[in-house]
Structure 1
């Protein structure tokens, strides 16, 4: 059996056969059985077993004016989706309204008119911008999931996990303007309603979920990311706060438990807030699920005692 020669380094880990032909790679080499064939016309040095590997393998198939959309686009932007990635999740691609969507196994294609299509490069890949991506996902989102995504898209915080400051700036008015351009589409009512609940400055999906849970329970809406000062010194910026009642609400992700330094910092911060007269109510994922009623009852008592 003929031993395969090394491939030109400019081809990378995955490439289109046309790229191989253009670099002078012989047909037997680019079709060697040692190479994977994740998509028609694509060769890869290894099986794509991660989300990014799947996207990178498909990228050489993209034609002019095509880009990634839907869940694929949202994951590339780092937006918080309610679904974990699974190898069976199709790569989603949008083509111009007069184009033919790809009919390839493992790929979902759709058409989008030029007035609706706005894309940017993410790590060199053409990706539908966050706002139109939100609209393409709208039909599959609950109201809470839609608010979480809008909060992430419009956040002015640099600390939102997974975003890394990559998303183009957007605000509520910009999303409303985009809704006017798009007109009717599946899920538009969900997005319109979500805009009324969205807030700037949010720093995590769980912060959004906590705020919505409180409002739906009939309690006043707490302030997002409130900075607490005492005697001219900044003590903390808390996730949610009732300022007049001096109640701070903090969501604790698992890293608050597993990171010893973070745990110590949390305890120090809580002590200082309590010494300044604040009541600190901490909650976890359990309180957003099975423990919801208990948390809501506790918050009601706290508000009643401090009103």
Structure 2
């Protein structure tokens, strides 16, 4: 690649660890942007782009890649709103943030007036720190879109035993918790054993725990969560 080229869009997202939908992950092309308004690169297996944005570029394993915040901005023309929020949540999420909110806002200033800006600004308003996975972000959005109170992503819970644990989506004022069980919870015996002990401790402390999986319909999750919240005094 030339010095004025950098990996961008879904290719940069995959390299940096921003979660994107499976169909975007399976794109066999590499997305490369020409900086400073240069001619978009062409070649077999290359999706070329050109930008006049003064994008930040970083070295990643010896390769030129747009910064995490700039990469997120380039995704605005490829992703719907909720997928864009999920990718943005990773920027400020766990286990280690990839960007600060100030860095995201600086990138938004650089992309002002570009395609997808309206979607980017709306997504920015819905970003939350401490998310851990794409599924957690999408579940949070589904619950909020249904009119439920907004939960804390990975809120820290201190149990009576003194043990501290994080809950995936915590409705702290109602002691209701939504937990997403991914495949690793089912296939990893040590993880499963830990989960059982942890959920027993939460139940003993009076928490209502709603467990969900990738296959559970969102409507069912919303209904179960709303019922649990109403049982605990929510009047939405």
Q: What TM-score do the two structures reach when normalised by structure 2?
A: 0.92
CA RMSD of aligned residues (A): 1.7
1:69 correspondence with 2:8:
yes
1:144 correspondence with 2:82:
yes
Match of 1:301 among 214, 227, 233: 227
| Higher Cα Rg, which structure | 1
Contact 2:177 2:208 in 1 (8 A): yes
Instruction: Give the superposition deviation at 1:172.
Output: 2.6
Alpha-carbon displacement from aligned partner over 1:150-175 (angstroms, at most 9, x marks no partner): 100122x22xxxxxx5x7x4223332
Match of 2:198 among 238, 257, 269: 269
Contact 2:36 2:54 in 1 (8 A): no
The answer for the alignment partner of 1:133 in structure 2 is 71
Residues matched between the structures, number: 232
Q: What TM-score do the two structures reach when normalised by structure 1?
A: 0.71
The answer for the alignment partner of 1:186 in structure 2 is 115
Within 5 Å, give how 1:1-307 maps onto structure 2: 62-84=1-23, 85-86=25-26, 89-113=28-52, 115-155=53-93, 157-158=94-95, 169-231=98-160, 233-287=162-216, 291-307=217-233
Contact 1:116 1:132 in 2 (8 A): no
Contact 1:227 1:234 in 2 (8 A): no
- Farther off after superposition, 225-234 or 69-78: 225-234
Q: Which runs of 5+ in 1 are unaligned?
A: 1-61, 159-164
Aligned-partner SS, 1:108: strand
Aligned-partner SS, 1:103: coil
Contact 2:4 2:36 in 1 (8 A): no
| Distance in structure 1 (CA, Å) of the matches to 2:38 and 2:174 | 58
Instruction: Give the superposition deviation at 1:235.
Output: 4.0
Instruction: Give the superposition deviation at 1:98.
Output: 4.7
Greater RCO, 1 or 2 (C-alpha within 8 Å, sep 6+)? 2
Q: Which runs of 5+ in 2 are unaligned?
A: none
| Distance in structure 2 (CA, Å) of the matches to 1:99 and 1:292 | 45
